Every structure is written in C-alpha cells, then in structure tokens.
Structure 1
Amino acid sequence: MVCAVVSKLSLLSKLRCITIDVTGTLIAYKGNLGDYYCMAAKAVGLECPDYKRMHEGFKTAYTDMAKQYPCFGYAAKMPNVDWWRSCVKDSFIKAGYEYDDATFDKVFKRIYSSFGSSAPYSIFPDSRPFLRWARHQGIIVGIVSNAEYRYQDVILPSLGLHKGSEWDFGVFSGLVGVEKPDPKIYEIALEKAGNIAPEETLHIGDSFRKDYFPARSIGMHALLLDRFKTPDAEEWRKSGAPVLPDLVAAQTWLAGEESLINANKLTGL
C-alpha cells in the first residue's frame, strides 16, 4: 500500500493536463428519449409514439447513420442538421411511424431544438467543483467526447460548464472527424493541450473500451467512474483500472496519502 500511495502522490505533482469524458462523467441524460419524441409529436397534433418501439428504432437508426456517416457526417461534409434529420426520420420509420414531409419537418424541428438545449440533460453536482479544482492546481483541462458541435457551443455552457472557467479546450468527434475508441482522438487532445506528453496527462471517463483502454494505449494515465454501479465495474477493476464512484472520490484519489487510503477502502482498490 505504501508504494501505491507514493505512486499516486507523485502523479498529481506530475500532471499537466486532465482530459475528461462528457456523458456519464460530467452530465447525464434526463428522462427517456421517448419523452422528447412524444412531446414533439403531440405538439403538432399527432399521437404519442410507443416509447419502447421509439427507443429501439432510434438505436438502430443511430447505429446505421454512424456507420454510413461517421462523426456526424464529418468526412462527407454533411451539415449537422441534415445528419440528425436523416437519423430521426429513420428512427420513426423503424418504430412504425411514417409522416408526410411537412408534418415530419415540424416534429423534427422540435426534437432537434430540444436536444440542442440543456433540457434533456442534467449536470452531476461534483462536475463543476472538480473541474475548477483541477484548473486551480494549474492543470489544463480538456473535454474529449463523441459528440457534435452543439455540446461545445450550446449544451455545456447552458449547463454551467464554460470554456475558460471549467475547461480549457475541447475535442469533439463531430468537429475533428475522429471518435473514441480510436486513440487518435487522445493524440489530438494532447496536441491541443500544447503537445503535452501522455505520461503528464490523466483521462477520466466511464467506458473501459472508449475511455480507459485507448488512453492507456498511448501512455496516458486513466481512471474510470462508476456512477451507476454497472456490473462491468468489477471486470474493469480486474483489468487493472482504477474505478471510483464519482469526481469527489477522483479528487480524493489525487489529493493525498490519507485521502487516497480512504478512497481505496471505499472502492476496493
């Protein structure tokens, strides 16, 4: 245990940059996807679509669009709104709902507007304090997310996560044309941070496949958050990943000997 404490104590002093995932790490979806599709349909006089069929339809449509036009149509130079229009239309069709163009356009505009605002999201209460604490330590903070430009320009600021006060730079797949788990997205982050060395950087996320493994593969430090007590967390630990319940514990993990020991007891590290 003494060696582990020394290792983690030295890590904070060596860190020059922390990169962090967004959804599941800093913010979470609020409610069900069906809620927003239902509200949009009812607003133009349509019946509320079946939640389960809508959810399954969206999953399939989103997967298909992501395969055909990765990173929200980045390589194809597809406008973001057109990518989502195709995805949402196909979601309805796969769920068994097909509307005429004029009706669908009215429904789509409401859905696109909702998901481009703070309405479907909630911020975890420890997100802002952790990010501000990290920056107060003189650490550069970067966002690394498989998201489109509205996260950077609208959604995060509307949730109180502002560039310049909570984070310093962002790497969003829809803007750079690379998405996790491709390690290149982490290499882009290191470049944006000022060509900081991977061993001077810590990445925090909630996915072993998309966050921990690719970050570690290029030499970055990494830890995972298990905010929702996922059954996969035990496998993450067995694979050697530090797994913590939230960003309060992450700050503790980085802060000092006594705090680290307590955090390890809580998480079984």
Structure 2
Amino acid sequence: MSLRGIRLVTFDATNTLLKFRIPPWSYYTLIAKDYGFTGTEKDVKEKFIDSYNFMWKKFPNFGKRIIPWNKWWQKVIEKTFEGQVPKDKDLAISEILIEEYKSPKLWCVAEGGRYLLNALEKKRIMLGVVSNFDPRLHDILRNVGILKQFKFIITSYEVGCSKPDKQIFIHAMKKFGLSNPKECLHIGNDMRKDYEAAISAEWHALIVPSPENLLTNQSEKSTPAPEHVFPSLQILAKAIERNELKL
C-alpha cells in the first residue's frame, strides 16, 4: 500500500531528521583545547560514549525526575574530560557546549529531509517528532528552520518516558487526537528504539539506518522487511512521490 490511511507521520531527531555538522567529540575537543586539554579526538570520543552510556544507565532519560537535564549533560562533559582539564574549567566547557548545541552551526537537516517534509505536507499528512531528547530540541528545530512544519514535538524528557517504551507513541497519538495506531507511521534510524518500538505500539514503521548511531547498542530482535528500509530520506521521499511505498 501507499500512504493511504496514514494521518500522522512522526520522525526521530538525531541521525534521522537531524545530522551533526561535525561529530560531537570533534567539537568537544576543539572547545576543550581552549581550556588546557591536550588529548586527542579519539580519547574524547571513547570517553564521551562511555560517559553518555554511564549517565543514561544511572540517570535514564537525561535525569528526568532525578536531576535537571542540563546538570545531566554537565556530568557527561565532566566525566568526558575527567583528569584532562583543570577541575575549575569543567563548568565553563559544559556551559559553552550545552548552549552551542542549540545552534545551526552544529546541526543541519539531513539530506532530503526538507524535501520529504514538503512531500508529506502536500499529501495533507500531519507531522510530528518523537525523540529521546532534552528540551533543546524545540530550539534546534526552530534554528534549522523546520519547527513550523510540525504539529507537535515530543521529547522523552518532557513526557517522562523514552523509546523503546511504546508509551511515548501512545502519548503521540493522544496528542494528535487519534485512537487507531494503524493511521500512524514512525520514521527513525534505530532498530530497537524506532522500528521495533513503533511496531510494538501497532504503528507502521520505516527505518533509515545510520552508521553514526554509536551511543547505544542496536539490540536487534528482528530484521525489518526490505521494503521498510531506505538508505536516505531523499530516496524515501521519491518513493512516496511515486506511490511506491509499501507499509
């Protein structure tokens, strides 16, 4: 089938709809060098991924109900540079990074993203974002120029549950006033958090795999149908325009 019957399409944010202009560890390294850091980008990458995963396990969902989200990120950054910069410089580095990661200097819309959003709008399909993210996502989408195309933005931090919990998809349906999950489609890059999670909520799902998705394990319980996998948003948009999509 095509998109007939679909009333709502939601997107994951990081590495699906949005891409980093440069890898986070590259920019972290650049900023930290102004504060005495002498290590390598490889060191920062390894420490950043470990720190992120440690904090997510100890304080899930950016510390929701435990610590403020910005304090959560301060701790990630502090652990990333632990023993590598003077102790009193951690806060200065984290304040810069937390603020600048709202900026279009560091984020851009993924290739074909604007094209796909416009193609869906032409079909009068309502659009939303369902993402494991902190509240800065609203600012980021505004700063890259696509916020107004969405009916709603749902971040895991703001609603208190994160993918792969299917409750975040149920929340999205309620937000839009829908009761039939078969009228909903989610597009993401992560097998477990996007594809499998949406399917578990009885939604339709498509996946645009991303090699950059390094922060969490892709615990794949199943393989998606080949017709549900697209190498880019651009190619997905073309398939929609030609009514070649199979859900």
TM (normalized to structure 2)?
A: 0.87
Q: Percent identity?
A: 29
The answer to whether structure 1 residue 100 and structure 2 residue 92 are counterparts is: no
Say if 2:189 and 2:207, in contact at 8 Å, map to a contact too.
Answer: yes
Say if 2:8 and 2:185, in contact at 8 Å, map to a contact too.
Answer: yes
Higher-helix-fraction structure? 1
Find the aligned partners of 1:139 and 1:188 in 2 and give their Cα distance: 18
Offset from partner CA, 1:54-110 (integer Å, 9 cap, x none): 11111111111111211111122x2222111111101111xx415222x22222222
Shift of 1:252: 3.5
Secondary structure of residue in 2 paired with 1:223? strand
Instruction: Structure 2: state its 5+ residue gaps.
Output: 214-219
Shift of 1:155: 1.0
- For residue 58 of structure 1, the aligned residue among 24, 48, 56 is 48
TM (normalized to structure 1)?
A: 0.80
Structure (1 or 2) with the larger CA radius of gyration: 1
- For residue 115 of structure 1, the aligned residue among 83, 101, 108 is 101
Offset from partner CA, 1:186-212 (integer Å, 9 cap, x none): 111111111341101111111111111
Find the aligned partners of 2:18 and 2:38 in 1 and give their Cα distance: 27
The answer to whether structure 1 residue 156 and structure 2 residue 145 are counterparts is: no
Q: Matches of residues 91-240 of structure 1 in structure 2 within 5 Å?
A: 91-93=80-82, 96-101=83-88, 103-152=89-138, 154-162=139-147, 164=148, 166-226=149-209, 238-240=223-225
AA partner of residue 167 (structure 1): F
Say if 2:111 and 2:233, in contact at 8 Å, map to a contact too.
Answer: no
Aligned length: 241
Instruction: Structure 1: state its 5+ residue gaps.
Output: 1-7
- For residue 81 of structure 1, the aligned residue among 62, 70, 82 is 70
Shift of 1:116: 2.7
What is the aligned-residue RMSD (CA, Å)? 2.6
AA partner of residue 251 (structure 1): A
**Residue in 1 that maps onto 2:5:** 14
Say if 1:37 and 1:49, in contact at 8 Å, map to a contact too.
Answer: no
Flag as ranges the 4+ runs of structure 1 deviating above 6 A.
none
